[in-house]
Structure 1
Amino acid sequence: MNFQHRKRLIVQTVEERGSAEVHELADLLQTSEMTVRRDLTQLAASGLIYRTHGGAMKVSLATDTHRFANKTAVNAGLKDYICQLAAQEIQEGDVLFMDCGSTVFRLCQFIRNKRVTVVTNSLPVVAELMSSEVSVNLVGGEVDKERQAVHGLMAEEHMARYRANRAFIGVDGISLQNGLSAHSEKEASTAITMARQSAKTYLLCDSSKLETNKYFYFAPLSLFDVLVTDNEAKPDVVNAYRQASITIIN
């Protein structure tokens, strides 16, 4: 495959997903990671993509990689599919933890008419559920304006006072070898606290994050009970997770 063909596929993939890792593009293009890195360097120089440490990002998202509105729009269809599956697990009267992840946020639309209680550190989740049947408990603490979420020691102490039937958390990367990884220590500590205080923890994770690793490893796979992903996950990856005794809904 020549450079022009690879260029078209790389740009198209990054535009559709919002971001892509080097190894993902290498698999897609059936070429070496070295070739992909060289291609990304040229595309970044032309202003067609934004080069990141492990891959590439859509240029329009690069001005603020953590802006919530941008994150929630990436892979929106897959996230909605995941949240529809997750919502089926929720029972009337449940107490739920919901973290500030962009996938978890999209669960709101599927629980608006349920009589449940949501404890969350996410300002967008609070805003979305304020006019619904859901009772909302906003975690107190320091507000992170970029992530539109509450983090910090006080937030963790707040969450530690509650017990939930289910926790719904997101993740930036998951792999069988290394466990869960994130871009931020803040979001990682929130996920750990919510999982610790819940009877059952669901990891909401679109298939693009399976077998990817971010820079900060924060928990083993045992942190969660159920992995909810989409039906575009590769069958061999899904089988490998199931063989590792991980419960998957997709």
Structure 2
Amino acid sequence: MNFQKRKQKILDQLNSTGEVDIKELAATLAISEITARRDLNQLAADGLLYRTHGGAMKIDPLAKPLDFVNKAAQNSSVKDSICRKAAEYIHDGDIIFMDCGSTVFRLCQFIKNKKIKVITNSLPVIYELQNCQVSLNIIGGEFDSKRQAVHGKAANEHIARYRAGKAFLGVDGISPNGLFANSELEAEITSAYINQSAFTYILCDAGKINNQTYLKFADINQVDAIITNADDKKLNLFAETALTVIKVE
């Protein structure tokens, strides 16, 4: 069976059930799990589905735009490893901040059964965590359609009213010199989260390490820990800092 035929069968199943599982898909189509995974990744890249850990879900166009969905699906196995580890540091009763990063978004699947409160500016996070154990505090302000998030002065003032025990945040770059962002709006709201959190975790893949982008907005000593898949060579850059490094495979 060629890819086009497999594609149609996958989409038919998504339309019928709303989700597919890699193992079940491989058995149904008589293909290997590697091929099934590759097919799902290709369809996610084309904006036709949303990749999840172990399968895929039908895209709800009213919930998350395709560009965000595709970004969240990139390097999904790495992001899931990082977020699975991050979830180990979240316990019932916690109050946490979550920003609008695509890696942080993938943390949702690992915390749905936790009795916690999440304060967030991310619409995809809100959508993903509705109707589960998690209690939501939704930040108000100016809506950024590209990021599917809320930013601006009102959002920063909203965050300033609250305190959280932990923050789980993404950055565009991190080095011993500090934290970096590609926009001032992102930098401002990340700083707001950091200022109101007792302990801040940065979730990022190896590509963000030592990536000093457009805007430095915080010193490295303003955050507490990084959870990443980077190798020891890159992580040794932080040896002279107080940053706690949590490495995942």
Fold shared by both chains (TM-score > 0.5) = yes
Cα deviation for residue 122 of structure 1 reads 0.1
Encode CA deviations 1:84-130: one digit per residue, 9 max, x unaligned: 11110111100000000111100000000000000000000000000
Count of residues in correspondence between the two structures: 185
Name the counterpart of 1:234.
Answer: 231
Is the contact made by 1:226 and 1:249 (CA closer than 8 Å) also made in structure 2? yes
1:1-250 to 2 correspondence within 5 Å?
67-176=67-176, 178-230=177-229, 233-250=230-247
CA distance in 2, matches of 1:60, 1:116: 35
Encode CA deviations 1:27-81: one digit per residue, 9 max, x unaligned: xxxxxxxxxxxxxxxxxxxxxxxxxxxxxxxx979xxxx9322321221111110
CA distance in 2, matches of 1:160, 1:104: 21
Code of the aligned partner of 2:200: T
Cα deviation for residue 243 of structure 1 reads 3.4
CA distance in 2, matches of 1:60, 1:212: 28
CA distance in 1, matches of 2:93, 2:242: 29
CA distance in 2, matches of 1:223, 1:73: 29
Encode CA deviations 1:181-201: one digit per residue, 9 max, x unaligned: 111111111110011101100
Cα deviation for residue 180 of structure 1 reads 1.0
Code of the aligned partner of 1:125: V
TM-score, normalised via structure 1 length? 0.71
CA distance in 2, matches of 1:213, 1:239: 17
Identical amino acids, percent of aligned pairs: 51
SS of the residue corresponding to residue 115 of structure 2 reads coil
Cα deviation for residue 211 of structure 1 reads 1.0
SS of the residue corresponding to residue 140 of structure 2 reads coil
Code of the aligned partner of 2:161: R
Which ranges in structure 2 are unaligned for 5 or more consecutive residues? 1-44, 48-65
Which ranges in structure 1 are unaligned for 5 or more consecutive residues? 1-58
Cα deviation for residue 226 of structure 1 reads 0.6
Encode CA deviations 1:142-174: one digit per residue, 9 max, x unaligned: 110110000010001111111101011100111
TM-score, normalised via structure 2 length? 0.71
Give me the CA root mean square deviation: 1.7
CA distance in 1, matches of 2:171, 2:199: 16
Code of the aligned partner of 2:199: K
CA distance in 2, matches of 1:73, 1:221: 28
